[in-house]
Structure 1
Amino acid sequence: MKTRPSTLLLAAAVSLTTLTGCSMTDGDSDTVPFSGTSTSLDAADATEKVSSGIYDLIGVKGKASESYSTVMECSGEDAEKYFRILHPWSFYPASVSDLDVAMERLKSELPKHGWEIVEYGPDTSKNKNIRMTADNDRKKVSVRVIRMAKNDPPKLSLNVVSGCYEIPEGQEIERF
């Protein structure tokens, strides 16, 4: 797995600290779900596998951006023992007309694959981008998809974020 520091990733991490926790919890809506025990590299691989599954659900021709996972802290938890994974990426459809098709496919296909859509609609930006947030309770992950039709080129911006993992006893969290 490649690593690189990025201001964009840090900004995304900060903005996503409250992304999960809507319905991905076992009761307390402000608590990020526990995803199990894992190394940060294995957790990143698992999160990227979820991203790959989402890519497959898009169902239109296009290209995904090169992307890198990053390790985030679990709010309110010991930063030496607990972490989350953020995997941001973008999808660029081969045809501009396929942007809406891709978003609608995700809206219809995600629930068929264990996801619950917890937010859908236009944001407050001047572009009125369409935002969708979906949680997968079984996999303990959440995805935020933003349809950015007025970008050049138009794209779907996706952020997949895991629940909190605990590092195995005797190991350290690798930060990337």
Structure 2
Amino acid sequence: MADDRPIDASGTKGGISEKSASGIPLGGVATTDEVVASVKEISSQIHDFAGVPGRASEPGPGVRECEGEDPSTYFQVYHPWNFKPDSASDQDVALSNLKEKLSTSGWVLKDSYLDNSPNKNLNLVADNDSKKASVWIVGYSKDDPPSLSIQVVAACYQVPDGQTVDHY
């Protein structure tokens, strides 16, 4: 029997969290262009959170399948990019700002850890339930020049009835 309870603002259906077959939260119904625009806006917010001058890489978001879902109607948008502070000394400032800001504005810092690499790079992982997105940031502070690797990913979305996923 179909579950016709409405999905509320938190992404739950009658108290049950809606997830795709792969366990990624479902974001609802939207076009790929709408979700791409949202992910670009989130990336811009993350850039602002860094709070230091620098250069961001140019490649834009991409669209991929939601594992375990029909690839013609379900999709996920991801946006990997890099940020290089203008000054190497700003790397630690940017990471500190990000760590602080990813606990505000609807963001919840889920994890902050040093990875197992020889450089022990700082990793920050945060979710924003209202934006239905997550971000994973890795600070490559010992690289020359230092940089941040940033990956913004959206929840899995379903295209509106009669449409198919626009991959780009």
| Counterpart in the other structure of 2:147 | 155
State the SS of the aligned residue for 1:170: coil
Q: Deviations over 1:5-36 (max 9, x none)?
A: xxxxxxxxxxxxxxxxxxx9864897211112
Residue type at the aligned position of 1:95: S
Select the residue among 67, 74, 95 that pairs with 2:66: 74
Looking at secondary structure, tell me which structure has more helix per residue.
Answer: 1
State the SS of the aligned residue for 2:52: coil
| CA distance in 2: counterparts of 1:136 and 1:42, whole angstroms | 17
| Counterpart in the other structure of 2:101 | 109
Unaligned runs of 5+ in 1: 1-23
| CA distance in 2: counterparts of 1:150 and 1:103, whole angstroms | 13
| CA distance in 2: counterparts of 1:40 and 1:140, whole angstroms | 14
* Structure 1 residue 150: Cα displacement: 2.2
**TM-score, length-scaled by structure 2:** 0.85
Structure whose alpha-carbon radius of gyration is higher: 2
| CA distance in 2: counterparts of 1:73 and 1:129, whole angstroms | 29
- Higher mean C-alpha deviation, range 37-46 or range 161-170: 37-46
Residue type at the aligned position of 1:79: P
**TM-score, length-scaled by structure 1:** 0.81
For residues 12-161 of structure 1, the aligned pairs below 5 Å read: 27=17, 31-161=23-153
State the SS of the aligned residue for 2:104: helix
Unaligned runs of 5+ in 2: 1-10
* Structure 1 residue 156: Cα displacement: 0.6
Residue type at the aligned position of 2:101: E
State the SS of the aligned residue for 1:171: coil
State the SS of the aligned residue for 2:60: coil
Residue type at the aligned position of 1:49: E
| Counterpart in the other structure of 1:3 | none
Residue type at the aligned position of 1:78: D
The alignment's C-alpha RMSD in Å is: 1.8
Q: Percent identity?
A: 42
| CA distance in 2: counterparts of 1:28 and 1:36, whole angstroms | 9
Residue type at the aligned position of 2:31: T
